[in-house]
Structure 1
Amino acid sequence: MGESVTHVAASVYTDEARFAAEQAALFAHLPQVIAPSALLPRPNMAVPHDGFGLPLLVSRDKAGKAHVFYNVCRHRGTRLLEGGEALCAPRIVCPYHAWAYALDGTLAAVPRADTFPGLDKADMHLVELPSIEAGGLIWFARCPSADFSDAASLAAEFDAFGLSGHHLYRRRVHDVASNWKLIMDAFLESYHVQRLHSSSIGKFFADGVTAADRIGPHQRSAVGRADYLAKIAPDDWPALRAAITFAYQLFPATVIVVSPDYVNVMVLMPQAVGRTLVENFMLIPEPPATPEDELHWEKSWTLLDEGTFGGEDFRAAALGQQGLSSGAIAEVTLGTLETGVYEFHAQVDAALSPARKK
């Protein structure tokens, strides 16, 4: 909880030059989450990924190691996989000339190899981007010198929730008419919960009962549920998990919401100053075993993805973008329950500062 009212300039959400600077300083250089590990639950799986404006391929090889490659054949530059669904196979075959790649990126086969005299298949590995899998999350970076130490240090946080052992129930990409930071803002304060979410989840939470702190540039928070907190001992982990929703805001643009019985991982992918793709992954402890299980998780998915997130948080961000783009106000005003928003923008400013000095 902050001590005073703070402000953020409205232009940080609407200025094209600011957006370009963020793309160059943050998204082109810093590691970011591309997907939870549960997207690839078995060896020899691959999923095409275009959300960051690049043709990418997330794979898990036969040894179980995760990779992020360019989804581009080394022969003639053809895109290898289309769509967004997972391929379950030991090889990826180019649709043009059928060059085949193993899921670790090695070139496995070339039709009519005799017509490529002197070609060494070992030199034709798919182009790989730096990545790490830690704590049930797959991180990648576009910059060859990216520092993944934060990803490794955060792994213990997510291991405590058993994230790497969760099952992917469903995923969906939302196209939100909003600057990416307005979406992040929604998960950096609980002031809105009982108001914006009054018809969905608001009734489950105690107003203003939130604890939050920072881990480097990242933030984490715990929001209490009504009528439970006073009865719980601080060291009773199962009881805390049942009564508290934990949220992580991984810098620059990933949100993880740990509810009592499921987890939402939301990856934000800025497309333009006023447009952001958000991929929402819902993870559950294990696959549904009965029709009753399926009904339960379907209800939870609908409540969160279509209601709380899609119908309320993302809608509020889009409405905010409309208002701020009008120029009616020069700055956003933040109360003492919204200090996390101010802290987040301070981290963005700090990340931009070196770029602005060059």
Structure 2
Amino acid sequence: MNAPERIMRPTEGQMALARQLADGGRRDTAGVSHIDAAAYTSPARHDAEQERIFAKVPLVIAPSALLPKRNMAVPHDGFGKPLLIARDKDGNAQVFLNVCQHRGTRLVEGSEAVCASRLICPYHAWSYTLDGQLAALPRPDSFPGLDKAQFALKRLATHEAGGLIWFSFDDSADFADAAALGQDFAAFDLAGQHLFRRRTHDVAANWKLIMDAFLESYHVQRLHATTIGPFFKDGVASGDTVGPHQRSAVGRAAALSDADDWPSLRAAITYTYQMFPGTILIVSPDYMNLMTLMPQSEGRVLVEDFMLIPEAPQSDKALAHWEKSWKLLDGGVFGAEDFRAAALGQQGLASGALDRLTLGTLESGMRRFHDEVEARL
């Protein structure tokens, strides 16, 4: 007898945003505000953000779906140090420095997933299990008295919740807000999704310009006029906060106050999670996009886009459907529209033509985000 299908229900927070949309959306009365243009163009500002934010707070590095099996590892270089995301034999997610503890050699090359019970250094063949422990080394007699337990890979603070893998360079980082968001993500089974595609975009823009695009709905029917804009109601949006993170919803259809199941909500609302400092999760009707932002300089950011679908394609028709969605979003809406707009914005701001940016009432999410950044600095 087959187990009954789990019926996914939204959290109270998600329902509150839906009810707000049904009432016509959030009406921000805070008025016009401004952001200093130097926040996007100053090298000193970039350095300060790296030191006081990215080196301190929890960061999303990947969806759990990147490592669907035990004894898997994926090298990751986007955050300035060679990292290794691993899932050990017990199913636990780990983030390590991708560095052999013998002579400092990079342990795993490339950027693709490897499946093995041990990771072997290419230089002297020291080998490690996927929980980071040194398992063996050639000619152990040449290292008299060596305690293998003292040569484990350097593990960074790691937390997996609700389908996301978080880490921090700071051992004292607090993952409580990540755990709170995990309840929302569990409501639509983020952890059970299949990774369909992933791609890293190299964008000539400050990382905050990418975040800005997903913190306001003002641009949707303008920038996306020929793609996704017609699907949304102009200016009908709602949002709230979970710790330093934001949760927003944009209306796609009619009143939703009596809908309490995911099929109804996802057909009518696009939920977006803006996780501080630089992660975006967009919950579309039948798939999700997770984007992680990795600042490289004040005018350059890497954006890794993961497309997550309910299950691996079971037919050529299903494969074609998902390929079409991937092409529309990653290469079209995000790549050709949002990321292009960010690069054009960087060019304009770098010219010195503006001392400050001006925000209206449909851009209040940006205001909250930039206030959080300023508070950390």
| TM-score, length basis structure 2 | 0.91
Instruction: Answer yes or no: is the 8 Å Cα contact 1:211–1:223 preserved in 2.
Output: yes
Q: What SS does the aligned partner of 2:210 have?
A: helix
Shift of 1:243: 1.3
Aligned equivalent of 2:146, options 119, 126, 145 = 119
SS class of match (1:130): strand
Q: How does 1:137-176 map to 2 (within 5 A)?
A: 137-176=164-203
Which whole-Å CA distance do the structure 2 matches of 1:328 and 1:221 have between them? 32
Q: What is the SS of the residue equivalent to 2:45?
A: helix
SS in 1 for 2:236: strand
Where does structure 1 differ by over 3 angstroms across 4 or more consecutive aligned residues? none
Q: Secondary structure at the match of 1:95?
A: coil
1:230 shift after superposition: 2.9
Q: Identify the residue that residue 344 of structure 1 maps to in structure 2.
A: 369
Match for residue 161 of structure 2?
134
Secondary structure of 1:219's match?
A: strand
Question: One-letter code of the match for 1:135?
Answer: G
Shift of 1:2: 2.3
Alpha carbons of structure 1 residues 119 and 236: separation in structure 2 relative to 1, 3 Å: closer
> Is the partner of 2:49 in helix, strand or coil?
helix
Amino acid in the other structure paired with 1:160: A
The aligned counterpart of 1:97 is 124
Worse-superposed segment, 29-38 or 144-153: 144-153
Equivalent residue, structure 1, for 2:60: 33
The 2-side partners of 1:14 and 1:282 are apart by 30
Q: Name the aligned partner's letter for residue 12 of structure 1.
A: A
How many aligned residue pairs are there?
350
| 1:280 corresponding residue in structure 2 | 305
Letter of the structure 2 residue corresponding to residue 153 of structure 1 = A
How far apart are residue 236 of structure 1 and its match? 4.4
1:248-285 Cα shifts (integer Å, max 9, x gaps): 00001100101111111100000000000000000001
| Structure 2 CA distance for aligned equivalents of residues 96 and 237 of structure 1 | 51
Partner of 2:28: 2
Residue 216 of structure 2 is matched in structure 1 by 189
1:220 correspondence with 2:247: yes
Give the aligned residue type for 1:202. Answer: G
1:355 corresponding residue in structure 2:
none
The separation in 1 between residues aligned to 2:285 and 2:153, in whole angstroms, is 40
Counterparts of 1:63 and 1:323 in 2: how far apart (Å)?
A: 50
Please say if 1:253 is aligned against 2:283.
Answer: no
Given the two structures, how large is their TM-score scaled by the length of structure 1?
0.96
1:80 maps onto 2:88 in alignment: no
Backbone CA RMSD of aligned residues: 1.0
Alignment CA distance shift 1:114-1:287 (3 Å): same
Residues 1:48 and 2:114 are matched in the alignment: no
Q: Kindly indicate whether the alpha-carbon contact (under 8 Å) linking 1:2 and 1:338 is maintained by their aligned counterparts in 2.
A: no
Query: Displacement of 1:305 after TM fit?
Result: 0.2
Query: How far 1:238 moved relative to its partner?
Result: 2.2
Q: Distance in 2 between matches of 1:305 and 1:151?
A: 26
Distance 1:30 1:201, change over 3 A: same
C-alpha separation in 1, matches of 2:49 and 2:99 = 26
Separation in 1 of the partners of 2:164 and 2:275?
A: 11
Q: 2:265 aligns to what SS in structure 1?
A: helix
1:109 aligns with 2:136: yes
| 1:48 Cα offset (Å) | 0.2
Does the aligned pair in 2 maintain the 1:60–1:104 contact within 8 Å? Answer: yes
Q: Deviations over 1:152-195 (max 9, x none)?
A: 11110100110000000010000000000000000000110111
Pick one of 300, 313, 318 that aligns with 2:343: 318
Q: Give the 3-state SS of the residue equivalent to 2:185 in structure 1.
A: helix
The answer to whether the 8 A contact 2:188-2:262 is kept is: no
| Equivalence for 1:296 | 321
Q: Structure 1: which 5+ runs fail to align?
A: 353-358
Question: CA shift at 1:232, angstroms?
Answer: 6.3
Q: What whole-Å deviation, never above 9, does each CA across 1:171-225 have from its counterpart, x for those lacking one?
A: 0000000000000000000110111011111111111111111111111111111
